[in-house]
Structure 1
């Protein structure tokens, strides 16, 4: 019988569920607070977005594993920008972009709210807002997206937040879809 070696903490992975990278698994850093969107929720979200992903300019505001942004790129989004605070996680996103050989994706490492606090260099058609929980970032993030013109005229915004803490959203955003999954509320908004 072989002696077991001590194991390093194993990083997880995300699975792309459809599109040109369907079935591909991408590694994810094991970082505290990082909670990739589950396949079940991701499937629901992309069923909601079925007709709207192709050719969309995508912004993944608190990218983490990049699960939502990579899924959009797999489904032929025009381009993807990933904002991520953690350096190691941002590097993993960059590595995954290289693995998939994407020339239409980029990672910007740093504080998302600080990035959104300036006038947008371009507008996005599809935005994912899934910040770390219990840090009250959703309302500020959404206000900055609207105020600093990060959104195209007809943008769709997917938001995840704690069920017990509903933030206020910009008045010109209309809820298209909503799903409760455990302690999480998932909503899709349309900017009008």
Structure 2
């Protein structure tokens, strides 16, 4: 697993051992960043279910202003910190080892771009989307990028959030939401 492009291009990222974490495939990661390529530079990013941190690190490599990574597992937070350091992004990254829903309910900042890639079939994706729209942590025109199993039906959110396009990559689906105004 490597950073695709930007200032950290080609850097190899450490992965978590075992099957508990399912890293985003390079094909899907590249597709996600092709979709949001004009919405990354200078933006504030949240990688809510960080895992290895690869989505947030890719955003930082492409010019994001800063990224907050959240993961419940101690090992995941340690790997994210190591990967951030490997890529030289310590000054722009904040790594929180804690519950994602607790983070959202206590969050007092706005984000321009949010990555949601929780364990499939955990129910966390729907809960996170509901919490984000209720607490309203997105900036104007902010984008939420969700990765899920292809068969999962994601909910519509109340205004000012709009569900956008869905992209399918085999058994994986990427769904975009945008905060209008």
TM-score of Structure 1 vs Structure 2, range by shorter chain: over 0.9
Q: Is the 8 A contact 1:87 1:109 kept in 2?
A: yes
Q: Structure 2 length normalisation: TM-score?
A: 0.93
- Alignment deviations for residues 19-57 of structure 1 (CA, whole Å, 9 cap, x no partner): 111111111121432111111111111111111100010
State the match for 1:141 in structure 2.
128
1:112-151 aligned at under 5 Å gives the runs 112-118=100-106, 120-151=107-138
1:1-192 aligned at under 5 Å gives the runs 14-102=1-89, 103-118=91-106, 120-172=107-159, 173-192=161-180
Q: Structure 1 length normalisation: TM-score?
A: 0.88
Computing the radius of gyration over CA atoms, which structure comes out larger, 1 or 2?
A: 1
Distance 1:167 1:177 in 2: 11
1:106 Cα deviation after fit: 1.1
Distance 2:20 2:167 in 1: 22
SS at match of 1:189: strand
Distance 2:83 2:41 in 1: 20
CA-atom RMSD in angstroms: 1.3
- Alignment deviations for residues 43-100 of structure 1 (CA, whole Å, 9 cap, x no partner): 1111111111000100001010111111000001000000011101111111122222
Q: Is the 8 A contact 2:156 2:162 kept in 1?
A: no
Q: Is the 8 A contact 1:93 1:107 kept in 2?
A: yes
SS at match of 2:119: coil
Structure 1 gap segments, 5+ residues each: 1-13
1:139 Cα deviation after fit: 1.2
More helix by share: 2
State the match for 1:7 in structure 2.
none
Structure 2 gap segments, 5+ residues each: none
Q: How many residues align?
A: 178
Q: Is the 8 A contact 2:47 2:56 kept in 1?
A: yes
